Structure 1
Amino acid sequence: MSRVALLTYSTKPRGGVVHTLALAEALADQGAEVHVFALGSEGFFRPLKVPFTLFPFTVEGDSLEEKVFACIGAMTAGLAKVAGEFDILHAQDCISARAATQVHPRVVRTVHHVDDFTTPALVDCQRRSIVEPGHVLVVSEHWRRVLLQEYGVAAQVVRNGVDPARIGPVSARRRARLRASVGAGDRFLLLAVGGIEPRKGSKTLFRALGLLRGDKPVLAIVGGHSFRDHEPYRRQALALLPGLGLNAAQDGAQDVVQLGTVSEEQLAAWYRSADALAYPSIEEGFGLAVLEAQVADLPVVASDLPVFREFLTHGRDALLPAVGDPVALAAALEQVMTDPALRATLVAGGRLVVPRFTWAACAARHAEIYRSIR
């Protein structure tokens, strides 16, 4: 099997990074010689069972454009010293793809989603990161169609996986302690994963909470680290809460609680301690958090995105209200909160979804693709 370098721009728990680490370990389990390269200095968000190298870098300037090109420069400089040791460089993002194509003739690129960049330099940078690699993969049929229609690139679909062992059980005592820490107690606890940002539909979720009748749930939001600066959006979203009758104060009865970036073990415990996942994204590459929640037997309320419809069925294994519609989302949340039979149906449906997505199958398909590259 080929010697493969897997490249990712970050060490933080974002979807593409999670995918990279899980794929690397699954490939190694199947006998591949794999090495992970990333930008960073503090190690990955979880222990990694394969060799890795981090390229330190300093970002000069505050704009997204300056950050992106500084990262590309740092990744290119680091890879230039080691690229010859590998048969294939497999990039998982725009930054590492642009770097890889400058230092190696055989580059595989996985496009998890296409960012909504607005400046000409970043739009062109993203376009080149998609059209220049010799082999392009995607994680859903939706993005395969987008790349073909908008970039003229024929990509292959390789699905994500999920590792149930990483979402282990939690004791009743710890579950009670976590719930108490966010003021849930006997209140219904919704978990949102990915922070407060436009792509996650945070404003829609807040507006939906404000429309709920009767007892309000507690919304615990995990994550939030992002290469892009979502702070203006976050402030705007949080500013909506008082007008919606919701409280995000640091004391008293909280309705919305920001937990920030947590360890993998802590995330698993939150999945096991919540009552449902609220994941009303307006754009996703795949939505790994949905599978992770289903491993933890959480009912899922997502949104009617094409990528979700590829593996979820409304009413059977998730509720998929209209994208960006707070009224529809509120109705779905209220159904899940008030109907135990529906929750049981969604949990049972989720248990049938999870086995279809394994990292072993994902790695095996990648290995086939690597072997086909000459």
Structure 2
Amino acid sequence: MKGRVVLVTHSTSPRGGMVHTLALAEALHALGHPVHVLTQGDPAVGLFRPTAVPHTVLPAPAKTGTLTDRVFESIDALTAALGAITEPDDVLHAQDCIAARAAARVRDADVPVPVVRTVHHVDDFTTRALITCQREAIIEPDRVLVVSEHWKRILHDHYATEATVVPNGVDPDRFPPVTAARRAALRASIGASSDEGDRFLFLAVGGVEPRKGTHHAFEALGELVRTMRRPPMLAVVGGHSFQDYAPYREAALDALPGLGLALGKDVVLLGTLSEADLGAWYRSADALCFPSVKEGWGLAVLEAMAADLPVLAGDLPVFREYLLDHHDALLPRSGDSAALAASMREMYADTALRRRLVEGGRTTARRFRWSRSAQRHAAIYDEVREAPRGALRQ
């Protein structure tokens, strides 16, 4: 590959898009490809973990005004920064609709470089301006990538866009084992371990928000608390998002008492964690509870598998592409709180099942490595560089 790849995303928050961006950049860097990551956050803090990859963190837009205001302010800032650093042999690889609009602006106005876009999923925007912005961010790039066949079909059917599937990956060494003392201390800190004994601990990753199906997890846990002598508990990691999910979060948390659940006892909010703490929680919980109702891939699933944590997800089409029910994950019907409760109960009760899922998860995780994903990306970058200008979008 000649020239540099500039990977662009709108946030340093350690959610799927940023995790994907940084892991891919590091894998490309390890293969000898020149890369640069451009993102927005707090320049004084930097990225969510140390990296040897060259990167620039721009100040994120202030959390004032409407979501539409912040989206277009973010696009403007990324456009200006990209315009200043982009060189003729670069490829701009955008990881979200904000970054894609900025990259296309630079290509069309300043430096005629190819723009690649990974569509992880399509957001449920409600304003006409943001719906249009998202559509343009899918049809403007020279090459569109997706991480699953499911989203390839959606882009074909709803946006008349042909996408290339390049699956996600996982770093098998990202979350190493923790000591027994560290595990015990973490569990004790939230009441999962006490003089009365251990409580089974489900870990949810992604915060309290609609796409993660959090209220289904709460409703399912409420059923178990009502019917079990020593029921499990749920710890929720994450929560930072460009979109404001405060109304959903408040409603879901306000519903806890009516479900027989106590915040801080049955449900614990861990918030955004450091890289080391996230890995320690993966290694300290008893199972992942990931009842999403929409995912592009679900990176937390691979992360859990790489950390030897048994997985409970759902039967979303994207999960069925690489997971097999009762082999490497439990896949109850998505959006069904009763089905989720039954699977949580099964996970809790069956030690042999959990061991089998861990073994199956290890095998599945070995199929997906960032080094393999980086090699596929590098070949695509060469393809878009060699294509006649404009031919990719015809």
**TM-score, normalised on structure 1?**
0.97
Q: Distance in 2 between matches of 1:167 and 1:55?
A: 28
Which of 346, 363, 377 in structure 2 is aligned with 1:366?
A: 377
Q: Distance in 2 between matches of 1:96 and 1:261?
A: 23
Alignment partner, residue 20 of structure 1 = 21
**Is the 1:59–1:71 contact (alpha carbons within 8 Å) kept by the matching residues of 2?**
no
Q: Could you tell me which amino acid in structure 1 is paired with residue 379 of structure 2?
A: E
Alignment partner, residue 88 of structure 1 = 91
Q: Distance in 2 between matches of 1:131 and 1:233?
A: 31
CA-to-partner distance for each residue in 1:105-153, whole Å, 9 max, x for gaps? Answer: 3100000000011111000000000000010000010000000000010
Q: CA shift at 1:63, angstroms?
A: 1.2
Q: Distance in 2 between matches of 1:273 and 1:210?
A: 22
Partner SS for 2:173:
helix
CA-to-partner distance for each residue in 1:148-186, whole Å, 9 max, x for gaps? Answer: 000010000001100011110100000000000010011
Alignment partner, residue 390 of structure 2 = none
Q: Distance in 2 between matches of 1:266 and 1:58?
A: 27
Q: Distance in 2 between matches of 1:234 and 1:146?
A: 28
**Is the 1:295–1:350 contact (alpha carbons within 8 Å) kept by the matching residues of 2?**
yes
Q: What's the RMSD between the two structures over aligned residues?
A: 1.0
Q: CA shift at 1:86, angstroms?
A: 4.6
**Is the 1:60–1:66 contact (alpha carbons within 8 Å) kept by the matching residues of 2?**
no
Q: Distance in 2 between matches of 1:12 and 1:116?
A: 20
**Is the 2:61–2:70 contact (alpha carbons within 8 Å) kept by the matching residues of 1?**
no
Q: Distance in 2 between matches of 1:264 and 1:296?
A: 13
Q: Distance in 1 between matches of 2:192 and 2:60?
A: 41
Q: Distance in 2 between matches of 1:80 and 1:286?
A: 31
Residue 55 of structure 2 is aligned to residue 52 of structure 1: yes
Partner SS for 2:36:
strand
Which of 223, 231, 235 in structure 2 is aligned with 1:220?
A: 235
Partner SS for 1:162:
coil
Alignment partner, residue 10 of structure 1 = 11
Alignment of 1:138-149 (within 5 A): 138-149=146-157
Q: CA shift at 1:58, angstroms?
A: 3.5
**Is the 2:11–2:60 contact (alpha carbons within 8 Å) kept by the matching residues of 1?**
no
My pick for the range that moved more, 280-289 or 50-59, is: 50-59
Q: CA shift at 1:298, angstroms?
A: 1.2
Which of 345, 354, 358 in structure 1 is aligned with 2:365?
A: 354
Residue 32 of structure 2 is aligned to residue 37 of structure 1: no
Q: Distance in 1 between matches of 2:62 and 2:150?
A: 34
**Is the 2:47–2:57 contact (alpha carbons within 8 Å) kept by the matching residues of 1?**
no
Alignment partner, residue 121 of structure 2 = 113
Q: Distance in 2 between matches of 1:85 and 1:46?
A: 30
Q: CA shift at 1:59, angstroms?
A: 3.3
Alignment partner, residue 208 of structure 1 = 220
Q: Distance in 2 between matches of 1:60 and 1:245?
A: 35
CA-to-partner distance for each residue in 1:10-59, whole Å, 9 max, x for gaps? Answer: 11101000000000010011110101111122301101111001222443
Partner SS for 1:110:
strand
My pick for the range that moved more, 328-337 or 43-52, is: 43-52
Alignment of 1:247-286 (within 5 A): 247-249=262-264, 254-286=265-297
Alignment partner, residue 239 of structure 1 = 254
CA-to-partner distance for each residue in 1:342-370, whole Å, 9 max, x for gaps? Answer: 11111111111011000000000000001
Q: CA shift at 1:85, angstroms?
A: 5.6
CA-to-partner distance for each residue in 1:301-344, whole Å, 9 max, x for gaps? Answer: 10110000010001111111111101000000000001111111
Q: How many residues align?
A: 370
- In structure 2, do the counterparts of structure 1 residues 86 and 38 end up closer, same or farther at CA, with 3 Å as the change threshold? farther
Q: Which runs of 5+ in 1 are unaligned?
A: none
**Is the 2:148–2:165 contact (alpha carbons within 8 Å) kept by the matching residues of 1?**
yes
Residue 274 of structure 2 is aligned to residue 301 of structure 1: no
Partner SS for 1:277:
strand
**Is the 1:183–1:218 contact (alpha carbons within 8 Å) kept by the matching residues of 2?**
no
Partner SS for 1:191:
strand
Q: Distance in 2 between matches of 1:366 and 1:60?
A: 34
Which of 106, 120, 124 in structure 2 is aligned with 1:103?
A: 106
Partner SS for 2:87:
helix
Q: Distance in 2 between matches of 1:193 and 1:49?
A: 26
**TM-score, normalised on structure 2?**
0.92
Residue 168 of structure 2 is aligned to residue 170 of structure 1: no
Partner SS for 1:90:
strand
Residue 346 of structure 2 is aligned to residue 343 of structure 1: no
- Percent sequence identity over aligned pairs: 60
Alignment partner, residue 209 of structure 2 = 197
- In structure 2, do the counterparts of structure 1 residues 55 and 85 end up closer, same or farther at CA, with 3 Å as the change threshold? farther
**Is the 1:282–1:324 contact (alpha carbons within 8 Å) kept by the matching residues of 2?**
yes
Q: Which runs of 5+ in 2 are unaligned?
A: 387-394
Q: CA shift at 1:238, angstroms?
A: 0.5
Which of 338, 343, 351 in structure 2 is aligned with 1:332?
A: 343
